[in-house]
């Protein structure tokens, strides 16, 4: 499996619901608390003049140790993710998030 396939898996929760909603799942590097953050693809992406496509900067704070994490995600012109990094945290899959929070997300896009 190449990196792009892994990214598609990570962010595969885009089908159905609002097509402009994207969920990012991360966990805090310090305490391991999982976090789900909704991104509005219409309003939150900026044009990336340096690299082409779009870029998203997202700050999020976990509710346990209140570490502020800063995610940076790059998208191509079709708004598919091409690169992602998060400071003070790590990306996890939706399945991992559900397992860690012991919950099912009924409709991940709302």
Supply the minimum distance, in Å, between the C-beta of residue 90 and Zn ion: 11
Here the tokens at position 12 are 């595969």
Q: Which of 7, 18, 20, 33 binds Zn ion (CB under 5 A)?
A: 33
Supply the minimum distance, in Å, between the C-beta of residue 95 and Zn ion: 21
Task: Tell me how far apart the alpha carbons of residues 105 and 43 are, in angstroms, rounded to a whole number.
Answer: 24
Q: Which of 4, 9, 31, 99 binds Zn ion (CB under 5 A)?
A: 31
Under the binding rule (CB under 5 A), the answer on residue 29 touching Zn ion is no
Q: Which of 8, 20, 23, 30 binds Zn ion (CB under 5 A)?
A: 30
CA angle 79, 83, 28 (to 5 degrees): 110
Residue nearest to Zn ion (CB): 28
Task: Tell me how far apart the alpha carbons of residues 73 and 16 are, in angstroms, rounded to a whole number.
Answer: 22
Residues 78 to 97 in contact with Zn ion, rule: CB under 5 A: none
**Quick check: 80 and 18 in contact, CB under 8 A?**
no
């Amino acid at each position: 499996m190449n990196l792009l396939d892994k990214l598609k898996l990570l962010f595969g929760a885009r089908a159905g619901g609002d097509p402009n909603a994207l969920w990012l799942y991360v966990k805090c590097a310090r305490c391991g608390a999982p976090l789900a953050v909704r991104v509005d693809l219409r309003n939150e992406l900026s044009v990336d003049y340096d690299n082409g496509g779009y870029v998203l900067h997202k700050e999020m704070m976990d509710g346990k140790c209140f570490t502020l994490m800063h995610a940076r995600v790059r998208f191509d012109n079709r708004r598919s993710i091409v690169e992602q990094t998060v400071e003070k945290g790590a990306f996890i899959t939706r399945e991992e998030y559900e397992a860690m929070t012991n919950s099912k997300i009924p409709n991940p896009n709302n």
